[in-house]
């Protein structure tokens, strides 16, 4: 029994530490490689993560929108289901909390097993970022789908000399049991769809 408790504690601590380690890697500007430039002039970058056979991904675009509006859209998890119009397979459920912004997302995946995860949002001066939480901490919201626990990402901005802002969205997810190419594919299109939906919502003062 004692060994089982130790294993559980170790796995929980490992997952939490790994997510914050991944977050540090995401916000390290080294080793990002330009993968493609989209028609709307967005730049998509990828980054290989050591010991993980997955790629972190970042999208960046110069936008003349007040970045605070964009970060406010991210923090308002209650509106996600209306904002994420290009992610109809994703359902967001806010988790009641007096001090923190926490939510659950359920993702329907064709052919493969459906997924769900819990995430917590944090904020700094020019950044809003999120980290996946341990699903075992929210057993009252348990689903029949497969829970995820490794992943993180965030939004940040920098002001350009011409008065516009460079808005970045960066993320990485690990979906155990899925082929790596499928995970990279999901991460790529999730990133682009969410980015466009959030920018569109911010431009409308959603």
Q: Where are the domains positioned within the chain?
A: 2-203
pTM for this model (two decimals) = 0.88
Instruction: Give the per-residue pLDDT at 206.
Output: 62
How far is Cα 195 from Cα 191, in angstroms, rounded to an integer?
6
Which residues, listed in sequence order, are joined to residue 138 by a DSSP beta bridge?
none
Which residues, listed in sequence order, are joined to residue 104 by a DSSP beta bridge?
93, 118
Q: 4: Cβ–Cβ under 8 A, 6 or more apart, which residues?
A: none
pLDDT at 14 over 60: no
pLDDT tens digit string along 105-136?
999 988 888 999 999 999 988 999 999 999 99
Which element (helix H / strand E) includes 44?
Answer: strand 43-49
Tokens 């997302």 belong to 105
Residue of 50, 82, 94, 88 lying closest to 206 (CA atoms): 82
pLDDT at 3 over 90: no
Please give the angle made by the CA atoms of 102, 103 and 109, to the nearest 5 degrees. Answer: 150
181 CB burial (10 A radius; 0-12, 13-18, 19+) = exposed
Longest Cα–Cα distance of the chain, Å, equals 63
Q: 81: Cβ–Cβ under 8 A, 6 or more apart, which residues?
A: 91, 92
Q: Is 135 left (phi over 0), alpha (psi -120 to 50) or beta?
A: alpha
Rg (CA), the chain: 17
Residue 103 DSSP one-character state? E
Residue of 62, 77, 48, 55 lying closest to 180 (CA atoms): 55
178 pLDDT band (50/70/90 cuts)?
A: confident
Pick 2-203's CATH classification: 3.30.530.20, 3.40.50.300, 3.40.50.2020, 3.40.630.30.
Answer: 3.30.530.20
Q: Please provide the average confidence, as pLDDT, over all residues in the chain.
A: 89
């Amino acid at each position: 029994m004692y060994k089982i408790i130790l294993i559980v504690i170790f796995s929980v601590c490992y997952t939490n530490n790994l997510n914050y380690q991944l977050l540090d890697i995401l916000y390290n500007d080294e080793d990002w490689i330009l993968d493609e430039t989209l028609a709307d002039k967005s730049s998509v970058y990828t980054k290989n993560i050591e010991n993980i056979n997955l790629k972190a991904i970042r999208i960046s675009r110069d936008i003349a929108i007040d970045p605070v509006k964009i970060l406010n859209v991210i923090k308002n998890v209650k509106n996600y289901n209306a904002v994420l119009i290009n992610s109809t397979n994703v359902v967001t459920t806010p988790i009641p909390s007096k001090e923190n912004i926490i939510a659950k997302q359920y993702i329907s995946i064709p052919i493969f097993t459906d997924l769900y995860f819990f995430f917590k949002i944090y904020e700094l001066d020019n950044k809003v970022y999120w980290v996946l939480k341990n699903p075992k901490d929210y057993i009252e919201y348990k689903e029949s789908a497969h829970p995820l626990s490794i992943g993180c990402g965030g939004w940040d901005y920098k002001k350009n000399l011409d008065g516009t802002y460079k808005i970045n969205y960066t993320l990485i997810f690990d979906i155990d049991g899925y082929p790596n190419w499928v995970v990279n594919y999901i991460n790529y299109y999730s990133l682009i769809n969410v980015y466009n939906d959030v920018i569109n919502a911010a431009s409308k003062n959603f």
